[in-house]
Amino acid sequence: MTTTATPRVLVHRADQPRGLLIWIHGGSWRSGSAAAWSPMTAELAERSGWTVLSVDYRLAPEHPYPAAVEDVLAVLDRVTPQSSSGDDTLPVVLGGDSAGATVALLAALQRRDVPVPLLLAYPPLDPECGAASYREPGATAFTAQLRQSWQLWLGSSPQPRPDDLAGLGPITLVVGERDPVRDDVTALADRLEQCDVTTDLHILPGAGHADILNPGNRTLTTLVNTLTSPERTLS
């Protein structure tokens, strides 16, 4: 996979930053923006003490897979130590919510030679939406919309479902108990542990999808707690 010119990035600078967090916004791969997510990413930077780089990646259907992944790789390659333009004095973490978390995971799989820690909030992982949590009460409309979003994003590309997850950096996974993608995330956690990837799974009681956009949400607090506990994030 080849990378493209670096996309626009919205930067929330922390005073005396602990590190750099590259954040990939949600929106079903076809909506959302760094600006729309800025209240959340600004709060994340303020509360964690990490500088947050929020990526404006290309959206479907005009730019189907793998355009978004290529955009994230372009940013990642500029700030990680193997890049001559990167700042190798600060740790780098890659994260995202919903569709953005899916993109972040796929990008990290392309850079296992220099693995970065991952913070992934409720990533959808199955284009068929076949797990039992997609059929729970209240999930029908969400599931139908998500299947359509997968189709628009993937286009004619084969389904990105890597069998080998070995070599990834440590991963923090956050998902709500009532989120239709819950079973995708718990299955991912099981696979990561089988591949000896350090994995920290948080299932938030009562929380649904897109929790990170809700005032006072627990997803953001969980991410902040991870970022301010380096032994959990970076080891």
Q: What is the domain range of residue 195?
A: 9-228
| 233 domain-assigned | no
| 234 domain-assigned | no
Residue among 25, 190, 185, 169 at smallest CA distance from 109: 169
| 122 domain-assigned | yes
The CATH number covering residue 185 comes to 3.40.50.1820
Report how many domains make up the chain.
1
- Strand 51-55 and strand 92-97: pairing? unpaired
Give tens-digit pLDDT for 26-75. Answer: 999 999 999 999 999 999 999 999 999 999 999 999 999 999 999 999 99
| 235 domain-assigned | no
| 95 domain-assigned | yes
Give tens-digit pLDDT for 145-167. Answer: 999 999 999 999 988 888 899 99
| 216 domain-assigned | yes
Q: Helix, strand, or coil here: 45?
A: helix
